[in-house]
Amino acid sequence: MINKKRLVNTFKDLVKIDSISRDEKKVADYIIKKLKKLKLKYKIDNSNKKTGSNTGNIIVYKNYNSKQGVYLLSSHMDTVVPGINIKPITKKKYITSAGNTILGADDKSGLAIIIELLETLVEKKIPHLNIEVAITTCEEIGLLGAKFLDYKLLKSKSGIVLDSTSPDRLVIKGPSSDYFSIEVNGIEAHSGINPEKGISSIKVAAEIINKINIGRLSKGTTLNIGKIDGGSAINIVPGKTTILSEIRSHDESKIKKILDKIKKDILKIEHKYKKTNKKFSIKFKKNRIYDSINISKNEQVVKRILKASKKINYLTSTVETGGGADANFFVKNGIKTVNLGTGMREFHTINEKLILDEFFTSAEIIYNFFTDV
């Protein structure tokens, strides 16, 4: 059994420490202080050189010479904005912010559960699975901490990320995600004196956008045109316009098919305008953000979590998500990782909440998981 009061206090301590992405050092210091007190072995990797954060990821080791193997447990330290000077307000059933900031339950609820697990295990000296903890930076800005983590520091072949809504959900499947940009290089001209010499990149961008389907394209596939940037002044036929988009799918072949069609449409449009002016061009660029995850229900880590949940008469079910998390990079690096909810709701908004019952349940499940030897 975990200490609920201590768990809540740790959570409140954590959210009161500002840690917008790339500025996680103060939270890292708080955690390291706890680790030193518990006499646990830890390392800090050099990912900050690539992520631009003021700290690396923290890796913690808690061994018990278990023959059942070693499992990874992970949460991220950074939060989104507005996340400065957060004041947690405790209501009967949940904790929320004062209303002018997020709460930061995403993902400090996960961090608090990890710290509580370590404190309980050190205190009780009971047998447990070997544990590796990865406390990451920069999750909210493209999973950068997990992307650039020093995987040589980890031996785990499977693991759990605590970074989702309710503990009745265990995410085992998530989409791949690609970022793509379309840069329309039109021809600038004076809008009043010789507009016929120009090709408006904004107008061509509209033509391209018209050809792209957005929103939910099928069950596991979504596309979003998220940002458009173009033109320089109202009296100039716009020279350059850029469209920024993302596509996600559980099915790699669908991403390819949809992007191929977009590229084909772009080529046609480019060809049409090139006839008027050879300098006209459209550039398409694509980048992988993260790869999909698809963990089998038969994996030990999945079975063990469902068992740990059943032990407290709670029902956790496996689900798919449309989102990405550090788990995507752990999977890419050979660690079969699932994502368990911690009780957070409406995260990334000023209405963010942490449902206390679910928070305790999630912590109990994690405790049961690691003490089932």
Question: What are the residue numbers of the active site?
Answer: 78, 139
**352 near Zn ion, rule: CB under 5 A:** no
Judged by CB under 5 A, the stretch of 104-112, 125-133, 179-187, 315-323 that binds Zn ion is 104-112
Cα 303 to Cα 62, 73, 102: the distances in Å are 22, 16, 34
Residue with Cβ nearer Zn ion (174 or 186): 174
- Could you tell me how many residues of this chain bind Zn ion (CB under 5 A)? 3
Backbone angles phi, psi at 338, to 5 degrees: -110, 165
**183 near Zn ion, rule: CB under 5 A:** no
**CA-wise closest residue to 153 among 60, 84, 285, 14:** 60
Length of the chain: 373
DSSP state of 67: T
Q: CB of residue 172 vs Zn ion: minimum separation in angstroms?
A: 17
Residues 306-325, mask of contacts with Zn ion (x by CB under 5 A): --------------------
Q: CB of residue 145 vs Zn ion: minimum separation in angstroms?
A: 11
Q: CB of residue 341 vs Zn ion: minimum separation in angstroms?
A: 11
Query: Residue 182, by phi and psi: left (phi above 0), alpha (psi -120 to 50) or beta?
Result: beta
Tokens matching residue 244: 């920024």
Residue with Cβ nearer Zn ion (106 or 188): 106
Q: CB of residue 171 vs Zn ion: minimum separation in angstroms?
A: 12
Residue with Cβ nearer Zn ion (106 or 358): 106
Residues numbered 17-76 forming contacts with Zn ion, rule: CB under 5 A = none
Q: CB of residue 80 vs Zn ion: minimum separation in angstroms?
A: 9
| The dihedral formed by the CA atoms of 328, 329, 330 and 331, expressed in degrees to the nearest 10 | 50
Cα 340 to Cα 14, 69, 365: the distances in Å are 20, 20, 10
Q: CB of residue 77 vs Zn ion: minimum separation in angstroms?
A: 10
Residues 6+ apart with CB under 8 A from 248: 175, 176, 177, 178, 221, 222, 223, 255, 322, 324
**Contact in structure between 85 and 171 (CB atoms under 8 Å):** no
Residues 211-230, mask of contacts with Zn ion (x by CB under 5 A): --------------------
**CA-wise closest residue to 42 among 116, 156, 153:** 153
**107 near Zn ion, rule: CB under 5 A:** yes
Tokens matching residue 305: 């979590």
DSSP state of 72: E
Residue with Cβ nearer Zn ion (163 or 183): 163
Residues 157-176, mask of contacts with Zn ion (x by CB under 5 A): ------x-------------
Residue with Cβ nearer Zn ion (23 or 163): 163
Judged by CB under 5 A, the stretch of 12-20, 65-73, 106-114, 230-238 that binds Zn ion is 106-114
Residue with Cβ nearer Zn ion (23 or 107): 107
Interacting residues toward Zn ion by CB under 5 A: 106-107, 163
